[in-house]
């Protein structure tokens, strides 16, 4: 066989194998036996080994074959992966319909597509000329992690788009959910327990952990499936609406849920919600609600976005699952800010597929309001299907053996004084040497969304604190190999991995450092705004309250909390030692962010934009160092007004905020007018 003959046979084999993969994994309708399939695959491998230069990325042989990765590189999303607004009941679903009617100026029923809301890991697959080139996690919505090698192993993800029904687009970003079917999840856990491994908590965690493996062969061994339901950026891809999009995704070879329905009007939407709620426990995968989308693409474009969510879609959440169990005792946990939280230790109970052994009681006022006692039978639910909580006491099941609970007036960790400030529901330990707070602060500092120090788990943190090796987060950067390697369950490789992860964390952006420091009232979003506004930690440390109030989202309470943190000499000493250790303390702008016309400026978009979606416009601002807000205030710098701009434009004029046309905004960005924005 010469090279040309080999190339022709490989092309035939790849198409035939992918066809049978599609029938087996997506359609559940195989046409040939396993033995026949194996014969085709062996022939493919035989030819590729003889002609290695003919191996292509879309070959079925490449589903497993990439070497383990050292880390996941960041992948910017061309179009942000927005989150959805939530509706928790029928009233909020009807409010959604009313908002659409007001915005569109019409009251006739709209066409919607109702789909199950998968409880898995969101992912994006980028296809160029029909070939899968990149797979990424959602990340923060703007930047995900490159998990291409792992997603290639998922059999329901086509490596090449089918082209027998529709022309293949030049570019399309297909979005969907990676899930593990419930039955396969239970089987996976039985296998893990048989090997003496810790079972996964729930299918979602199992799916997420499987995709984020550094070794793709581990991912390949997990029973993952991918359901497609949306697209991001595209070229040469046109559909009339969401229903047409789902059909197009099917045609291209993706697994698409059969539970989606196209309906008209909110009454039918609610009917579909009730239907899927009734099927919830029978479905092969975990769902936590429905997603409702306006069907027509033209109306979606007209409706645009509000904040970081599409105006034309909403997630209608199912009620949390609840079960009955008994409170064996109530203990008190101490958090990183000293807050004392009562926690119920429960007789183990399965709630929504997860074994729950503890549940939060929030604070002493909640304990009193619900009348919770040790020994009570209670309803337990997973709030948002995630965090277990006690929701109701079954007082009629009491037998007199129950014991009242009283919050301690001394810290259960350090024995220090506990105070409850006026206006607060929580009691706090005010001891600066409290080991429980120290452990929680270190755990938060090392968490993925903060300094992202891998290998530093709770048990290792406990050892570091209890042996006096780490008193605060700055001490992490002084750890030596010989100190770490002798700790329990540590070896040379794991000790070095920890030290390497600590060293790597020094290059985390300033926003991550600010979030990691655990400043009260400062979450991830505000940390980014503070880093961008002040440019470095020195300027932020010296900022007066009136300076802080100039930052979008900072009010008097937040400004006071920030000022209190930096006025504490112990906190300033930690920051000094972090800086000396080499932790980044300055805001580093992306390559194209140093544009003074955007840096620190807040843009608000209103009306319908002609050449781009609102999220595209916001992405242009963010990429150049600006900020995108959803409402107009005196802190706004520019309002960009598209067609049919309404109250935001009027408010901008009243406040004297500069108003730009779409063409003026594009010129400011350096993008030509009249052209589609990528």
Give the C-alpha distances (Å, rounded to integers) separating 649 from 102, 171, 239, 259, 645: 17, 35, 32, 41, 6
Q: Which two tokens stand for residue 92?
A: 């909020």
Give the C-alpha distances (Å, rounded to integers) separating 345 from 7, 340, 349, 381, 391: 64, 16, 11, 14, 14
Burial (CB count <10 Å: 0-12, 13-18, 19+), residue 562: buried
Q: What is the three-class DSSP state of 8?
A: helix
Q: What per-residue string of b and e applies to 283-299 under the rule 16 or more CB within 10 Å gives b? A: eebbbbbbbbbbbbbeb
DSSP, res 165: S
DSSP string, 39-53: HHHHHHHHHHHH-GG
DSSP, res 477: G
Q: What is the three-class DSSP state of 189?
A: helix
* Cross-strand partners of 345: 329, 358
Q: Which two tokens stand for residue 258?
A: 């059969």
Cα angle 547, 553, 556 (rounded to 5 degrees) comes to: 55
Q: Which of 290, 287, 291, 279 is nearest to 353 (CA)?
A: 287
The catalytically annotated residue of 27, 117, 255, 439 is 117
Could you tell me if 29 and 182 are in contact, meaning their C-beta atoms sit under 8 angstroms apart? no
Clarify whether 117 is annotated catalytic: yes
Could you tell me if 504 and 448 are in contact, meaning their C-beta atoms sit under 8 angstroms apart? no
DSSP string, 274-308: HHHHHHGGGSSS-EEEEEEEESBHHHHHHH-EETT
Please give the span between the terminal C-alpha atoms of the chain, in angstroms, as a whole number: 45
Residues assigned a catalytic role:
117
């Amino acid at each position: 066989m010469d090279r040309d003959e080999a190339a022709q046979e490989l092309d035939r084999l790849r198409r035939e194998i992918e066809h049978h993969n599609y029938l087996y994994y997506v359609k559940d309708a195989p046409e040939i036996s396993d033995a026949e399939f194996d014969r085709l695959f062996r022939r493919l491998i035989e030819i590729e080994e003889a002609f290695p230069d003919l191996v292509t990325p879309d070959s079925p042989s490449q589903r497993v074959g990439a070497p383990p990765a050292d880390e996941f590189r960041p992948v910017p999303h061309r179009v942000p992966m927005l989150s959805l607004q939530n509706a928790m009941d029928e009233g909020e679903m009807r409010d959604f319909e009313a908002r659409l009617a007001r915005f569109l100026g019409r009251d006739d029923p709209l066409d919607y597509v109702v789909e199950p809301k998968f409880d898995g890991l969101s992912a994006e697959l980028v296809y160029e000329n029909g070939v899968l080139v990149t797979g990424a996690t959602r990340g923060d919505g703007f930047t995900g992690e490159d998990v291409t090698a792992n997603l290639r192993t998922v059999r329901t993800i086509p490596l090449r788009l089918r082209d027998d029904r529709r022309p293949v687009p030049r570019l399309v970003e297909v979005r969907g959910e990676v899930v593990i079917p419930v039955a396969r999840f239970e089987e996976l856990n039985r296998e893990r327990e048989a090997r003496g491994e810790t079972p996964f908590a729930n299918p979602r965690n199992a799916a997420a952990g499987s995709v984020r493996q550094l070794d793709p062969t581990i991912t390949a061994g997990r029973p993952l499936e991918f359901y497609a339901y949306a697209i991001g950026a595209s070229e040469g891809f046109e559909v009339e609406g969401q229903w047409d999009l789902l059909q197009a995704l099917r045609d291209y070879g993706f697994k698409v849920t059969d539970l989606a329905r196209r309906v008209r009007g909110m009454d039918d939407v609610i009917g579909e919600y009730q239907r899927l709620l009734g099927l919830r426990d029978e479905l092969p995968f975990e769902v936590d609600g429905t997603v409702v989308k306006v069907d027509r693409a033209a109306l979606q474009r007209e409706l645009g976005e509000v904040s970081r969510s599409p105006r034309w879609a909403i997630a209608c959440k199912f009620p949390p699952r609840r079960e009955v169990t008994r409170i064996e005792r109530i203990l008190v946990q101490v958090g990183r800010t000293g807050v004392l939280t009562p926690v119920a230790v429960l007789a183990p109970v399965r709630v929504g597929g997860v074994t729950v052994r503890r549940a939060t009681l929030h604070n002493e006022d909640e304990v009193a309001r619900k009348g919770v006692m040790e020994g009570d039978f209670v309803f337990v639910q997973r709030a948002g299907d995630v965090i277990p909580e006690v929701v109701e006491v079954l007082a009629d099941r009491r037998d007199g053996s129950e014991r009242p609970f009283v919050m301690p007036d001394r810290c259960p960790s350090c024995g220090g004084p506990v105070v409850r400030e006026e206006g607060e529901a929580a009691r706090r330990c005010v001891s600066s040497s409290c080991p429980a707070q120290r452990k929680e602060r270190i755990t938060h500092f090392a968490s993925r969304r903060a300094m992202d120090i891998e290998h530093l788990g709770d048990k290792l943190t406990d050892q570091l604190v209890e042996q006096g090796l780490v008193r605060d987060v700055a001490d992490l950067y002084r750890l030596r190999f010989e100190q770490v390697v002798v700790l329990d369950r540590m070896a040379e490789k794991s000790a070095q991995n920890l030290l390497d992860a600590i060293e790597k964390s020094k290059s985390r952006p300033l926003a991550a450092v600010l979030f990691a420091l655990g400043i009260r009232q400062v979450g991830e979003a505000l940390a980014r705004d503070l880093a961008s506004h002040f440019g470095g930690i020195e300027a932020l440390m010296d900022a007066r309250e009136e300076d802080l109030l100039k930052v979008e989202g900072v009010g008097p309470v937040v400004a006071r909390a920030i000022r209190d943190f930096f006025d504490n000499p112990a906190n300033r000493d930690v920051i000094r030692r972090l800086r000396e250790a080499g932790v980044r303390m300055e805001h580093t702008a992306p390559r194209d962010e140093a544009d003074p016309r955007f840096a620190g400026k807040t843009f608000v978009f209103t009306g319908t934009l002609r050449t781009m979606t609102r999220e595209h416009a916001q992405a242009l601002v963010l990429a150049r160092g600006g900020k995108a807000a959803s409402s107009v205030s005196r802190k706004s710098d520019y309002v960009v007004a598209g067609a049919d701009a309404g109250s935001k434009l009027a408010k901008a004029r009243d406040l004297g905020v500069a108003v730009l046309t779409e063409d003026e905004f594009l010129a400011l960005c350096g993008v030509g007018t009249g052209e589609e924005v990528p």
